[in-house]
A and B are shown apart, each in its own frame.
Chain A
Amino acid sequence: MLALLAFGIGVLIVLLGIGIWIRHSGKRQYLGNILLPCCLIVLSLIFLVITFGFRDEEAGPALIPRLWIYLILVLSGITLWQALRGRDKAAPKIERPSLLAMTMAILIGYFLVMPYIGYFLSTFIFIIVMLHLLSYRKKILIYVIAVGWCVCSYLVFYKLLYIQLPLGVFEDLFYKFL
């Protein structure tokens, strides 16, 4: 496990180095096109190393994963070569990078706080924050949509489908009143 961790850190350093080199070379527009196959190659190599710990038999557990890994390595090598030679299609420019990054961060935050403050409150906050972020102008409607969704999900998922949604610290309060 330690060896794997050291390998992972080493690989990250190499990838970072490749990234910095690409940014300062003439292939800046192919940064992602080059890094993605690099990541796939690294992940495949990690998986390949793990397969050597499996029982070695003709139709054993290592057979199929190794087959997929070898194919990924070969084909990723080809795409990497194409990207390095500038034969790949460069990814389109992201028009609103800040909006996208904020959305991703908010989504991760929503997932992380859900077990602590519960599904209903976290969803209420998530909808309000997202609608504000997307410049939705009707302020009252934002709250109506957030409350409406929470009520709908309570009725459909909790009452109708009997799904135990995460309630977090409000669990006792929830069972007391609802």
Chain B
Amino acid sequence: MDLTESPAEQAFRAEARAWLEANVPRPALPSGDTRDGFAAHLDWERALFEARWSVVSWPERYGGRDASLWEWLIFEEEYYRAGAPQRVTQNGIFLLAPSLFEFGTPEQQDRILPRMAAGEELWAQGWSEPAAGSDLAGITSRAERDEAAGGWRLYGQKTWTTRGAFCTHLFGLFRTDPAAERHRGLTYFLADLRSPGVEVRGFERLDGDEGFADVYFDGAFVPERDVLGEVNRGWSVAMATTGSERGLTLRSPSRFVTAANRLVELARSGTLDPAGPDSAGLGSVGLGSAGLDSAGLDSAGLDHAGLDAAGLDSGLRDRVVQSWIEARAYHLFTLEQVTGIVAGDSPGARSSLNKLYWSELDVRLHETAMELLGADAEADGPWSRGFEFSLAGPIYAGTNEIQRNIVAERLLGLPRA
């Protein structure tokens, strides 16, 4: 065990912190899931790229720094600490790119990765269809050979496509052998959304942003060179991509550690009245002294904890602390995971553990924030937006019900139904 940073890692952290402090836009940008906000975020993405912070773990020839996985984690910590904008390029950089590095040809990598890193080409993910959500292998969108043109023609509909209305490209699965068993006969395509035969219609998510889109394909052409992996073998490539989505690369621990620290600050701010109405005349609402009522432990000489509540209901205070603990637990879990990856392990089905933990801690954390805000919670703001967005976490990247099946069957070895 050695959880200290090397001098090189410390220097990397210092450089990242200094650049972020000087460059993170203030005030914060509007939501990147709106048309105007997305454009503002693209400017930020290009600034990141110019300074070579957009893809730190990638090779230098693609605009990265060849940073280690540890350095990448450090950059993520600094990024969230600085309150920097959401990464509207994330579905390309954090989801498609790992699969491109693993399955792509050198030609594909050289052509696609630099433009992705620079924010010139923006990638949306095309898995879900109206009748295929959790049951991804049930997709019916298809691709047909066009020998004359040297490629494929896509037909069908993808939906709930995040930022689909603002992206230029889409990666997704399409059925290429209707006769094959349903997990076979699927091919992973890299499609240009600006092609003839593609129609994109944005629509609102629960939070009111136009962050979703329906994408309709009616004979859109994809050249042969834009098949990722082998024809009819797209399922395994897609599983690698979803592993990235569930695990470390999309949701690094810093996101939740930072959110938990902000929750603690919110709870500390002392002006909160989680009970709502003035309690005088309405009966006791549980504010005030909490005491160490049930533990029965006398801590004199053994700790430094004060035991009275600071205007915080003790049950609510415990929830704030629990969220802080869980964020820390996720951080420590990922440190062990990164050690394994650096040693050559593949997280495999264990990325479902990441996904269950971060998504559900995120919901609990935001529910606690809403309770702390009391009557103010209904006003639009970062916490109410964060709360609404947290509810998507247990759904996207494979619902948590599916993740629990994966954990039970593939990690615990329980029998399939």
Do A and B make up one complex? no
Which residue numbers of B lie inside 8 Å of A, CB to CB?
Answer: none
